[in-house]
């Protein structure tokens, strides 16, 4: 029997697996190093736990990739297409407002200034708002007034991560999502330190007031109880940040369950020319399009789509 082929296949597989693991580790370390550069001062000891963070960063990266895949587009953000494109028409009041956003975007302006590319890709995000309005509707031969309907409008537009290719823009957005997670850990650590500082002030005040009253007096006992309570809270915070591992644990906890803090879902819109939300059975002319809705741990939601922008779109006409 010829055993050479199975053996060769085994070594080829092992070699490919080793290369893949090496590539995954390098990609994860690139993310970690960027986070260390941004949050190293706010989350101490990150650099000491680079290797331990690799598996969690890789797992989170796979999850974030699934969220990013939900973003539709790219939509050609041509202001002259305002009356024809359902996305542009529904989000902006006019083609002029579309062009104002593009020309007023520092990110886009800087990108085209520093690049010879005539076309750029970017992430466009906006906040969806709803309000109830009364409209007039015609149903068959019947004309009805003051029908309560839901109107959809968009505000707080932002353009981010422009580049000359969509893959690079997606990569930059992935880094931003990682930054959002690491920022949550940094905010938790900062809040604990601030709370400890405030508790120290309360402790010192309690000690000072205790000195004003005789031993055994009820008032002194009251301030002593307060002092003990505050000391307990300070000790609890100290225990939560006792070692380098405790600091990094706040990051690890977020990376273990990123879905608790970051989520996304596709949202399909069917809007009238006036932005009225229509049901699926409506035969009225409608702007139909989809956006991805991202929700961050603080409850803030933003709609997202990829966009394609020509250099000429930024020029006023």
Q: What is the pLDDT of residues 91-130, one digit of tens each?
A: 998 999 999 999 999 999 999 999 999 999 999 999 999 8
pLDDT for 209:
86
pLDDT band of 14, cuts 50, 70, 90? very low
In a domain, 232, yes or no: no
pTM above 0.85, yes or no: no
Q: Which is it for strands 142-163 and 119-139: parallel, antiparallel or unpaired?
A: antiparallel
In a domain, 309, yes or no: yes
55 within a domain of the structure (yes/no): no
User: Structurally, how many domains does the chain consist of?
Assistant: 1
CB-based burial of residue 43 (10 Å sphere; 0-12 exposed, 13-18 middle, 19+ buried)? buried
- What's the chain's average pLDDT? 86
Nearest Cα neighbor of 73 from 87, 59, 60 is 87
- For strands 301-310 and 287-296, give the pairing: antiparallel
CA atoms within 13 A on the CB side of 157: 23
Average pLDDT over residues 154-169: 95
Q: How many Å apart are CA 259 and CA 77, to the nearest integer?
A: 31
pLDDT > 50? residue 46: yes
Q: What is the C-alpha to C-alpha distance for residues 82 and 317, in angstroms, rounded to an integer? A: 14
Which structural domain range is residue 277 located in?
78-163+260-313
Indicate whether 108 belongs to any domain.
yes
Mean pLDDT for 181-202 is: 93
294 in a domain, yes or no? yes
Q: What is the CA radius of gyration of the chain?
A: 28
Rounded percentage of the chain residues whose pLDDT exceeds 90: 61
Q: Is the pLDDT of residue 300 over 90?
A: no
Q: Is the confidence at residue 62, as pLDDT, over 70?
A: yes
Instruction: With respect to residue 21, please indicate whether it lies within any of the assigned structural domains.
Output: no
Task: Return the SS3 of 125.
Answer: strand
Is 133 a member of any domain?
Answer: yes
Token pair recorded at residue 211: 């000195």
Q: For residue 122, tell me if it sits in a domain.
A: yes
């Amino acid at each position: 029997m010829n055993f050479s082929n199975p053996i060769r296949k085994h070594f080829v597989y092992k070699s490919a697996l080793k290369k893949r693991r090496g590539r995954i580790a390098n990609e994860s370390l690139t993310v970690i190093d960027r986070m260390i550069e941004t949050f190293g001062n706010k989350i101490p000891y990150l650099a000491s736990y680079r290797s331990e963070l690799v598996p969690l960063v890789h797992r989170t990266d796979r999850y974030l990739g699934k969220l990013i895949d939900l973003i539709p587009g790219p939509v050609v953000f041509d202001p002259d297409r305002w009356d024809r494109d359902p996305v542009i028409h529904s989000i902006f009041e006019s083609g002029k407002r579309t062009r104002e956003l593009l020309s007023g975007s520092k990110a886009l302006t800087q990108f085209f200034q520093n690049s010879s590319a005539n076309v750029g890709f970017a992430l466009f995000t906006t906040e969806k708002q709803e309000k109830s309005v009364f409209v007039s509707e015609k149903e068959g031969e019947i004309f009805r007034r003051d029908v309560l309907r839901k109107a959809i409008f968009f505000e707080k537009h932002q353009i981010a991560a422009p580049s000359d290719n969509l893959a690079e823009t997606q990569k930059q957005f992935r880094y931003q999502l990682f930054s959002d997670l690491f920022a949550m850990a940094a905010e938790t650590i900062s809040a604990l330190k601030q709370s400890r500082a405030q508790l120290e002030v309360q402790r010192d005040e309690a000690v000072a007031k205790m000195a004003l009253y005789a031993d055994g007096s009820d008032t002194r006992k009251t301030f002593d109880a307060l002092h003990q309570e505050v000391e307990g809270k300070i000790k609890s915070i100290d225990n939560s940040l006792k070692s380098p591992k405790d600091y990094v644990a706040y990051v690890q906890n977020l990376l273990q369950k990123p879905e608790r803090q970051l989520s996304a879902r596709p949202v399909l819109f069917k809007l009238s020319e006036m932005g009225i939300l229509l049901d699926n059975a409506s035969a009225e002319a409608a702007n139909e399009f989809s956006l991805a809705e991202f929700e961050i741990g603080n409850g803030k939601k933003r709609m997202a789509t990829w966009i394609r922008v020509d250099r000429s779109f930024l020029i006023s006409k």
